[in-house]
Amino acid sequence: MLTKTKGASPILTPRDWDAHPSYVYPGYKSTVKRGPQKPLIPLKASLGELQQPVYGHDSIGEFDNDLTRNARRNGEPLGERMILTGRVLDERRRPVANTLVELWQANAAGRYVHKVDQHDAPLDPNFLGAGRCLTDSEGRYRFLTIKPGAYPWGNHPNAWRPQHIHLSLFGQSFASRLVTQMYFPGDPLMQYDPMITGTPERYRNRLIADFSLDITEEGYALGYQFDIVLRGADETPFENR
């Protein structure tokens, strides 16, 4: 986020780099192959990258944030319904409005709608596992979805990914995208998962949602709160540092 002192040009608040996972984490095998091994070379952003819009209100459909309805064909998707909501905040805990939040996840059986996913688990014809929404004036986003299942992923012997949801946020240009993952409280698989253990231990709680009875809708869906802080002392760990 940008800050500005009187009479000065806008400057970026320093990031808490220690909060983020490293590009290369040996326990997460694919990072060894795809993570940069040399210092990054900063490139000056073009005028188009800095100013072009990403998405507007007109591109968001009525059911884009309701994953129980946006891919329905012949019935309800299978699994435990849940509500995921939270606020996107800057380093001073101020709301960030009109920010696009994307979500993608596995279905209740732990399988993605993707040709590369060959997990021996059923696909749900009524569940796509993807959605998006814009934050409101208070920086709040909200999704209705199905709680994802755990799944094997072959990173190490008997490797299973914890239940999790992927989230990405866009700023004012295509170049300003942040990606993170949200986990569920009390999941015993988190201690074995290098994607979360790659984040320094004292910051991992920032990746775990809080169960909320206030958000829970009686007889219908459990509620979870997950705030995303873009910068500063409470910064959410992101995969693209």
Q: Picking from 39-43, 154-158, 172-176, 215-219, which range would have the lowest pLDDT averaged per residue?
A: 172-176
Tokens for 55?
A: 């998405």
pLDDT (tens digit per residue) in 141-177: 999 999 999 999 999 999 999 999 999 998 766 667 8
Q: Is the pLDDT of residue 179 over 70?
A: yes
Q: Which pLDDT does position 10 carry in this prediction?
A: 47
Q: Is the pLDDT of residue 84 over 70?
A: yes
Spatial separation of the C-alpha atoms in residues 19 and 194, rounded to whole Å: 15
pLDDT bracket for residue 12 (50, 70, 90): low
Q: Taking the CA of residue 210 as centre, how many other CA atoms within 13 Å lie in the half-sphere pointing to its CB?
A: 11
Domain ranges of the chain: 13-31+74-229
- Position 199, amino acid: T
DSSP state letters, the chain: -EE--TTS--EEPPP-GGGSPPS--TTSHHHHHHS--S-----PPPHHHHH-----GGGS-TTTTBTTTTT-SSSPPSS-EEEEEEEEE-TTS-B--S-EEEEE---TTS--SSTT---SS---TT---EEEEE--TTSEEEEEEEPPPPEE--SSTT-EEPSEEEEEEE-SSTT-EEEEEEE-TT-GGGGG-HHHHTS-GGGGGGGBPEEEEEEEETTTEEEEE--EE-SSTTPPP-S--
Spatial separation of the C-alpha atoms in residues 187 and 211, rounded to whole Å: 12
Q: Picking from 129-133, 205-209, 235-239, which range would have the lowest pLDDT averaged per residue?
A: 235-239
Tokens for 203?
A: 């910051």
Active-site residue set: 112, 151, 161, 164, 166
pLDDT bracket for residue 14 (50, 70, 90): low
Spatial separation of the C-alpha atoms in residues 47 and 172, rounded to whole Å: 12
Q: Which pLDDT does position 41 carry in this prediction?
A: 80
**What is the mean pLDDT of the segment spanning 131-141?**
96
Contact of 104 with 172, CB cutoff 8 Å: no
Q: Which residue has the higher pLDDT, 207 or 45?
A: 207
Spatial separation of the C-alpha atoms in residues 189 and 8, rounded to whole Å: 48
Mean pLDDT of all residues belonging to the chain: 87
Contact of 164 with 148, CB cutoff 8 Å: yes
Express as a percent the part of the chain with pLDDT over 90. 67
Spatial separation of the C-alpha atoms in residues 24 and 133, rounded to whole Å: 31
Query: Can you give the C-alpha Rg of the chain in angstroms?
Result: 19
Q: Is the pLDDT of residue 240 over 90?
A: no
pLDDT bracket for residue 53 (50, 70, 90): low
Q: Which pLDDT does position 177 carry in this prediction?
A: 84
Alpha carbon 130 to its chain centroid, in Å, reads 11
Q: Which pLDDT does position 3 carry in this prediction?
A: 40
pLDDT (tens digit per residue) in 192-202: 999 999 999 99
The CATH T-level fold of domain 13-31+74-229 is: Protocatechuate 3,4-Dioxygenase, subunit A (2.60.130)
Burial call 47-72: b when 16+ CB within 10 Å, e when fewer: eeeeeeeeeeeeeeeeebbbbbebbb
**What is the mean pLDDT of the segment spanning 111-125?**
95
Q: Which residue has the higher pLDDT, 30 or 119?
A: 119
